[in-house]
Amino acid sequence: MDKRVVDFETKRLEKLPPREVGPYLMSLPAKQRMETILARPDAEAVVAALPEQDFYLTLKEIGPEDALPLLELARVDQITHVFDLEAWRRDRIVPGPAAQWLDRLYRASGRKLLAWLYQADFELLVSVFKKWLRVAHIPEDTDPTEAVDTLPKNTLDDQYFWEARYPQYEDLIRNILSFLFEAHYGFYKELMNQIIWALDAEVEEEAYRFHRGRLEDRAIPDYYDALEIYRAMEPEEIPYDKLLVERNGEDLENPPAFALVAVPEGGLFRRALEAVEDARLLETLQLEMASIANKVVVADALAPDDAEDLREAAGKAAAMVNLGLDLLTAGDAALAASALERVYLEHLFRLGHSRVAEIQRTLRRLTKSGWLSRWAFGPTILDSPWAERLEGLMGKTAKVTRLQGAERPRLVQSFIQDRRDLHDAAHWVQVTASLGPVFDALEVNPAQLAEELWAEGQVRILEEVTLGSLLFTATAWSLLGESRRVEPLAVDRWPEIFAAAAPEALSETLSGFVDSCVAGEKRRRLVWEYVQGLVDRYDEETRAFRGKEPPDPRLMGLFLFRAPRYKPA
């Protein structure tokens, strides 16, 4: 990108008011985002204007240790959100991550640490400190020197004695308790009393109730509510009754922007978004996308404290909404813009995901009860790129596999996000399903193959056998004038095989075999699409050797070889 364009964009961001700069910041790379914030004289106001979820994602993307300057500027609510996501696993507090974040907060700003301790749920503090400390209180009429052997070793006032359950955090806990002791002894005393006397289960249950309520306020649901995102929906079931958010004052915080930023350029959803001029609609869309991404995180059991998982969830949310919008409007940009005003994005997500789920169900049937189930290693029998394509579709989140890159193309996986992707995915499954009669007609004997495979070849073990290597081996036997069968070829016959197995001869023989075992012209075309790719690959790999010495058989992955069987002298 032209440096002048970057400089212009930076200067524009520097002039925006704190409330307006947040959504733009989330589109920047994490390091540049922090640099842009800290370069502003009103950096604290800019951080304060970030929604809790955008602030948290920024911390995680930058890296907690590198993001201490942002932690120093954070609002107490933003810090609480960090603890809500880091210090809990389901309905239980985990003391290690809680200690790590308290340590970071202490190193970032003692003032901010005190502010958070005073405003955090007292039940949370009690629960956390109960996991960190063993505390004892000495009666007022007892001489500490007489009881010293029975008490924990640490004390600040000769009244409350404590020891750390985790020695690695002892210095941190001592510093925090000293802070509280010096700043507000009454608070310190009440905390120590509760650590001694409060029932663990009761105080943690109460802390969880407050924790769960805050997450629900941030549209982060529990597991069963999150599963609603995957309930199937048809176009005729979609209501057009969307309500926009109401703002009752400028002091309300901005809606999170992280999920909307994940919407890819050039797609129908992005084009429709670019046409939005109503601020209320844009805020509504931001809230909706954040809610969908949060549901994906929970329903897919992703880690809310992992920046990559959060980005994955946001990307999936954007892709399924784009697909649903494309299906609902047949790709019409004007209709798509209108749909954003009238249709809830969650309904678009469910519509898109329903179509993807249909393809995945078909594929699961194929692997569990179809022809792929008759091969011990399932889909590994497929050749490249079909194996990679099905692997992408079989994941928890179905993805399509494409070649990308002009100079050095490589296979990459991306979300299914429009009707073209959906068509490609369905077509790949159709091609794979059509190969069943071919596999059955080969009558493979896996035990025999396992015993005879050549240890020096490309295909050395049964797991490396593919449908292509079975087909080409059977065809090679035919070209040698023998009966078609799937038995490894003697490697010492490779020159003879190579001379007979010209691409044209392979193609003609394979075509006859396909015609003999596959019924119906449509299914034959699907099978031939698979087979033609193998022939083209073989032609490309061997073209330079035609009319010359054959290539090294150790490099040939489309034939199964066995070691030569020498006759005794």
* DSSP per-residue letters across 460-490: -SGGG--HHHHHHHHHHHHHTTS-----PEE
For 166-219, the pLDDT digits (tens) are: 999 999 999 999 999 999 999 999 999 999 999 999 999 999 999 999 999 988
Query: Two tokens at 421?
Result: 């992707």
Predicted TM-score (pTM) of the model is 0.88
Same domain? For 328 and 234 the reply is yes
Alpha helices by DSSP H, 381-418: 386-394
pLDDT at res. 568: 46
For residue 128, the tally of other CB atoms under 10 A from its CB is: 22
Instruction: Establish if 99 belongs to a structural domain.
Output: yes
pLDDT at res. 254: 83
Cα–chain center distance at 155: 47
Q: Please return the burial class of 54, using the count of CB atoms within 10 Å of its CB with bins 0-12, 13-18 and 19+.
A: buried
pLDDT at res. 186: 95
Instruction: Establish if 310 belongs to a structural domain.
Output: yes
For residue 559, the tally of other CB atoms under 10 A from its CB is: 25
Instruction: Establish if 392 belongs to a structural domain.
Output: yes
Same domain? For 211 and 237 the reply is no
Instruction: Establish if 98 belongs to a structural domain.
Output: yes
pLDDT at res. 4: 43
Total structural domains within the chain:
4
Same domain? For 202 and 155 the reply is yes
Q: What is the C-alpha separation between 401 and 403, in angstroms, rounded?
A: 7
N residues, the chain: 569
Q: What is the C-alpha separation between 183 and 116, in angstroms, rounded?
A: 13
3-state secondary structure of 160: strand
Same domain? For 75 and 204 the reply is yes
Same domain? For 203 and 58 the reply is yes
Same domain? For 326 and 178 the reply is no
Query: Two tokens at 8?
Result: 């212009």
pLDDT at res. 105: 95
Instruction: Establish if 569 belongs to a structural domain.
Output: no
Instruction: Establish if 397 belongs to a structural domain.
Output: yes
Could you tell me which of 108, 24, 116, 23 has the C-alpha nearest to residue 68?
Answer: 108
- Are the C-beta atoms of residues 152 and 138 closer than 8 Å to each other? no
Beta bridge partner(s), residue 411: 403
Could you identify the residue written with the tokens 């809680």?
98
pLDDT at res. 19: 86
Pairing of strands 88-89, 410-415: unpaired
Instruction: Establish if 568 belongs to a structural domain.
Output: no
Could you tell me which of 15, 57, 18, 26 has the C-alpha nearest to residue 250?
Answer: 18
Amino acid at 392: G
Same domain? For 95 and 148 the reply is yes
Query: Two tokens at 468?
Result: 């292509």
Same domain? For 189 and 73 the reply is yes
Same domain? For 477 and 394 the reply is no
Domain of residue 38, residue span: 3-221
Same domain? For 532 and 453 the reply is yes
pLDDT beneath 50, residues of the chain: 1-6, 251, 568-569
Instruction: Establish if 567 belongs to a structural domain.
Output: no
- Are the C-beta atoms of residues 477 and 489 closer than 8 Å to each other? yes
